[in-house]
Amino acid sequence: MADVMRDTFARTMHEVGVADPDLLVLVGDISHFALQPFAQACPGRFYNVGILEPTIVSMSAGLASLGLHTVTHTIAPFLIERSLEQIKLDFCYQGIGGTLITVGSAFDYATLGCSHHCYDDISLLRGLPNTEIVYPASPVEFTRLFADTYRNGRLTYFRLPKETHGVDFAEADIVLGKGLRVRPGSDVTLAACGPQLRTALAAADRLAARGIAAEVLYFPTLKPFDGELLAASVARTRRLVCIEEHVEFGGLGDVALRAARHVAGLKSDFLFIPDAFQRGYGTYEEHCRALGFTPENLAARAAALCADTAGESA
Amino acid sequence: MEQPACASADSDNKPTGMTRLPSTPIINQDLRRRIVDLVTHGKGGHIPSAFSIVDIIATLYGQVLRFNPERPRDENRDYFILSKGHGCAALYAVLHRHGFLSGAQMENYLGFDGILGGHPDRTKVPGAEASTGSLGHGLPFSLGIALGLKVRKRCNKVVTLVGDGECHEGTVWESALVAQNLGLGNLCCIVDYNGSAAQILPHPDIAAQWRAFGWQVREVDGHDPAAIADAVKPFMAAGNDGAPTAIVAHTVKGRGVSFMESHGPWHHRIPNLEEYAAIMKELE
């Protein structure tokens, strides 16, 4: 199966690495075949360090303290949850910049169970100063935002999903900290991140068939967050539904609601991974269905907000 | 890639623009008094831990490392990382002695707006190469510095000081394995072997452990400046490739004050007036 985002990552390392002799890539025994073009073109700058993620993170910070640009890559639970203290103390507190890139966030490794799931990573890193959080679900988002961040002196986390959302954005529209209005509407705002943009757009089609104009917003960056775009949208629609492959704490829903706090009469609903471990196996799609991450459910939740007009005239 | 710096590195180990202030037992007694003053007046700190390592740090700065207090981030400097950050009073005393820190900064130790906290902070302290405190971070961070120096084809050396209790941390041994595999001959790890680990979880033979990980190992009296310098100098003179160096420094926690020695109640205790007087009398 194609792994579009991982392939884009590997290709970008090659392209950027050839031009920038300060780029180093360190991996925890994943993606080493995909990264061979970089390894071959940039000898001495690719390290498949081993299966010792906290050490890889501290080591990356030490490298970056010399002004080198490090990219540290492995599976999300091992890089973010297991190595959180190393991220906090060795990168963030010391004001050292670098890039963390994961695959396997949320339930992308659907069959592998809890040890290989990670749905609190955004929350964990949002709480650390000097971090940026990027969640690109199309190639151009990654290439643009990596180029803009990898040497900006901050720690940038790229959460690479297995699935893409299928929308082709213009490179010029991709800006760190900026969301995108993918579809205009006036009745309800659907806010999405990651591959769930696809779900949001399909839900908007269903809502349109019922005479409800849904505005679809997409946020490739979770920190910094484009609160202005969100607030401006819900100031018009007064209704907000967020969808994200993340726990309810500290993800898109939290930050969106904070951005919309001044909108009077706001009605809101949230689709997220509930406060329970996901114990099923199967496929990514089966997990999505079990969690209600479907166009049908999202449209129904949005339509319910639109139907509930109680108190609107007050 | 930058020009290799080996040719410009100070080959006779003199610090750039500085007169060396050597480490001797008498001078190090003065550093111990400084440590006691810091902790007593600051009302916080780990005196016995600092006494355990002060001879090592004083010797590194007095006889071994290349540095420039006027430019703490001088590109030709060697790197010293105090991984057991709670012993930082010893580092502060040495950095003060060598001109990195002013008297006013020392007097504001643990002050809210001071730069000298209970653990060293790279973002505040001139000469501190890493912010440490949580054990098990200094060696992997140093490993990154050592690798980065090689990537940049530089000949600076990296010396890290860890505690023997800290050697319970898995990241120490993860790093030991990685450093050996990467051939980081520019990395030296000194183990402050004062028996702290033995209070909880003894290492059967810590020198053998490092040796088993492929490091060059030396053992030394960690309170003998001449012996410490002799143990480190071969590492300083060697090339950057090959096995990294581990030096097991046999030390005594609280060394220098009889009633503080060993693993009793003084680990994080602040002397009262009577105790302060008794400590200073022993350090005369």
Is the per-residue pLDDT at B39 higher than 80? yes
Q: B59 touching A, CB under 8 A? A: no
Task: For residue A93, give both structure tokens.
Answer: 């507190």
Inter-chain touch A94–B130, beta carbons under 8 Å = yes
Overall average pLDDT of the B65-77 stretch: 95
Q: What is the ipTM of this complex?
A: 0.95
Strands in B216-221's sheet, in edge-to-edge order, are B79-82, B158-163, B187-193, B245-250, B216-221
Report whether B179 contacts B244 (CB < 8 A). Answer: yes
Q: Which of B44, B46, B26 is nearest to B163 (CA)?
A: B46
Contact between chains at A60 and B152 (C-beta distance less than 8 A): no
Q: Does A54 touch chain B (CB under 8 A)?
A: yes
pLDDT digits (tens, 9 = 90+) for B212-228: 999 999 999 999 999 99
Nearest CA in chain B to A22: B1
Quick one: DSSP state of residue A79? Answer: I
> By percentage, how much of chain B surpasses pLDDT 70?
93
Provide the whole-model pTM. 0.95
Q: How confident is the model at residue B11 (pLDDT cuts 50, 70, 90)?
A: very low
Greater pLDDT, B23 or A252:
A252
Measure CB to CB from residue B145 to each of A55, A62, A89 and give the nearest one: A62
What domains sit in chain A, N to C, each tagged with a CATH number? 4-159 (3.40.50.970), 172-313 (3.40.50.920)
Supply the pLDDT for residue A106.
Answer: 97
How many Cβ atoms are within 10 Å of B222's Cβ, its own excluded?
Answer: 28
Determine the distance in angstroms separating the CA of B228 from the nearest CA of chain A, rounded to an integer: 26
For residue B278, pLDDT over 90 is answered with yes
Yes or no, beta carbons of A62 and B144 under 8 Å apart: yes
Residue B21's pLDDT is: 80
pLDDT digits (tens, 9 = 90+) for A139-182: 999 999 999 999 999 999 999 999 999 999 999 999 999 999 99
A 10 A CB-CB count for A9 gives 27
Q: Which residues of A touch B131 (CB under 8 A)?
A: 89, 93-94
pLDDT level of residue B5 (50, 70, 90 thresholds)? very low
Residue of A21, A55, A68 with shortest CB distance to B148: A68
CB contact under 8 A, A55 and B178: yes
CB contact under 8 A, A66 and B178: no
Interchain proximity B122–A94, CB inside 8 Å: yes
Chain B hits for A29, Cβ within 8 Å: none
Q: Cβ of A59 and B152 within 8 Å?
A: no
Residue B7 pLDDT > 80: no
> Tell me, what DSSP letter sits at residue A92?
I
Cβ–Cβ gap A94/B133 under 8 Å: no
Q: Which of B123, B136, B140 sits opposite A59 (nearest CB)?
A: B140
Side-chain-side CA neighbours of residue B30 (13 Å): 10
Whole-number pLDDT of residue B16: 54
Taking residues A191-209, report their average pLDDT: 98
pLDDT of residue A311: 44
Other residues' Cβ atoms within 10 Å of the Cβ of residue B230 = 14
